[in-house]
Structure 1
Amino acid sequence: MPRGTETRQRMLDSAADLFHTQGYHATGLNQLVAAGGAPKGSLYFHFPGGKEQLAAEALEVSGERLGGVLRQLLEAAADPADAIATVVELLAKTLAESDFQRGCPIATVALDAAAESEAIRSACAGSYGAWHRTIADYLARQGIEPERAEALAVVALSSIEGALMLAKLNRDLAPMYAVGAHLRETYAKET
């Protein structure tokens, strides 16, 4: 990997981590540059649109990473009920292991800055849309009627996102476990 590409990727990775835990507005330019291990000029060299461009691209990276994990978990599960329960369990574990700092890698920034930046809104919507598509396509491949699979994917994504937020706010995984049990039961009835 060429040195400039390596620096750019390191900046994206560190920005994705900072935005995940702190949000957009609480993460400063100096912090982004320091975490990326690059001189300040590198930020504008690699991201001429500044912090907003870096955030949008970092969100895309975060969304793709979680999307890849989601696809792996779904495909490895015995059935849709086990699949969705495994997804919820992994997200709950990640949240707990981070001392309730690392919920959804997109939600913190979506709530913080999507209303004021089209680039950030679009990156957030793209990630959520890809996750929705992954779940709906998986459910359809499992024999669930496509329209119903679409609806179940919306319910799963919305429920999990809400549970992550409540768990993070209350520093308690109970919402995750409640949603996981409910989704498992719902998906078991569908297949």
Structure 2
Amino acid sequence: MARRTDTRQRMLDSAADLFHTQGYHATGLNQLVTAGGAPKGSLYFHFPGGKEQLAAEALEVSGARLGELLRQLLHAAPDPSAAIESVISALARNLIESDFRRGCPIAGVAMDATGSEPIRQSCAESYSSWQRIIAEYLVTQGIDGERAGALSVVALSAIEGALLLAKVNRDLAPLQAVTQHLRKEFS
């Protein structure tokens, strides 16, 4: 049996997974509580703001996890061109391994729950942090700060769009096309 002090983290982890695969509106309170292995009352004990607060915090967890993976993949590559290919390959593997259910951990909720300011803010913070990670990496590779900032926006936007198209079409071709284009941009 899990320790009581783990309940909040279990709920965050399971909510992050459910929101990633199902989106915000398709994920119900009972499902969140059951997946977190907690009694129903503990949802409001740990998250007084209810589902909205749980979602906002779960998105922060998902955003931080992807940010760390992004940082690791970028810095492990020999050059920017290989780095972007490594990132897109990891995202493509994630899609395939999940039978095209797990694209971006933020995008589905970002489009699904636009009326919630806390959720919008969590999504915006994740996207901004990913953009910063890419820009900072590019600067370490000798790319001018202004160009690195612009390239990070282009890369993030292209990858997000390609992930969405790949997920919807159940086909990695959009990710492959973006990889080829960004490899040239990052050379």
- Does TM-score exceed 0.5, indicating one fold? yes
Alpha-carbon deviation of 1:5?
3.3
Residue equivalent to 2:79: 79
Residue equivalent to 1:102: 102
Secondary structure of 2:186's aligned partner: helix
Superposed CA offset, 1:41-97 (max 9, x none): 010000000000000000000000000000000110000000001000100110011
Q: Which runs of 5+ in 1 are unaligned?
A: none
Matched, 1:166 2:168: no
Superposed CA offset, 1:124-176 (max 9, x none): 00000000000000001111000000000000000000000000010100001
Cα distance in 2 between the residues matched to 1:4 and 1:111: 34
Residue equivalent to 2:180: 181
How many equivalent pairs are there? 186
Residue equivalent to 1:93: 93
Cα distance in 1 between the residues matched to 2:186 and 2:76: 16
Secondary structure of 1:58's aligned partner: helix
Cα distance in 2 between the residues matched to 1:187 and 1:69: 19
RMSD: 0.9
Residue equivalent to 2:145: 146
Q: Which amino acid aligns with 2:124?
A: A
Give 1:2-41 correspondences, 5 Å limit: 3-41=3-41
Q: Which amino acid aligns with 1:35?
A: A
Alpha-carbon deviation of 1:185?
1.4
Matched, 1:56 2:56: yes
Residue equivalent to 2:111: 111
Superposed CA offset, 1:76-124 (max 9, x none): 00000000010001001100110000000000000100x2000000000
4+ residue segments displaced more than 3 Å = 2-5
Matched-pair identity in %: 73
